[in-house]
Amino acid sequence: GAGVSQSPSNKVTEKGKDVELRCDPISGHTALYWYRQSLGQGLEFLIYFQGNSAPDKSGLPSDRFSAERTGGSVSTLTIQRTQQEDSAVYLCASSLRSGGYNEQFFGPGTRLTVL
């Protein structure tokens, strides 16, 4: 009965480096979401996956951001050439499917600090 897990929990990197953030959703959940949350702020939608459909990438802030979901399970969010404004908590959530009555189950987040 594990929940959504994310790794690493904290990541400190230097400006210009690439980072990869991982999300393990709840088994059987077909929908997976990535959000960004700056300190004390709201959620900024980044991308979501629903089953085998093409992901909705409409929230990705720039082409430095990309995400993939392998085998309909684990997802990786990659940020290339990190900038200081990328510093935030990156949250992953999964649900049985997108929309409808289905609640989203959130992971603990990855706190990214770009120096």
Binding stretches for another protein (CB under 8 A): 3, 33, 40-43, 45, 48, 56, 91, 93, 98-104, 106-109
- Smallest separation (angstroms) from another protein to the CB of 71: 22
Select 17 or 97, whichever has its Cβ closest to another protein: 97
- Smallest separation (angstroms) from another protein to the CB of 55: 10
Report CA torsion sign: 97, 103, 104, 105: negative
Select 4 or 82, whichever has its Cβ closest to another protein: 4
Select 52 or 101, whichever has its Cβ closest to another protein: 101
Select 82 or 92, whichever has its Cβ closest to another protein: 92
Structure tokens at 17: 């480096």
Beta pairing partners, 14: none
- Smallest separation (angstroms) from another protein to the CB of 9: 11
CB burial class (10 A; 0-12, 13-18, 19+) of residue 40? Answer: exposed
Residue 56 DSSP code: B
- Residue 6: name the closest of 28, 30, 24, 29 by CA: 24
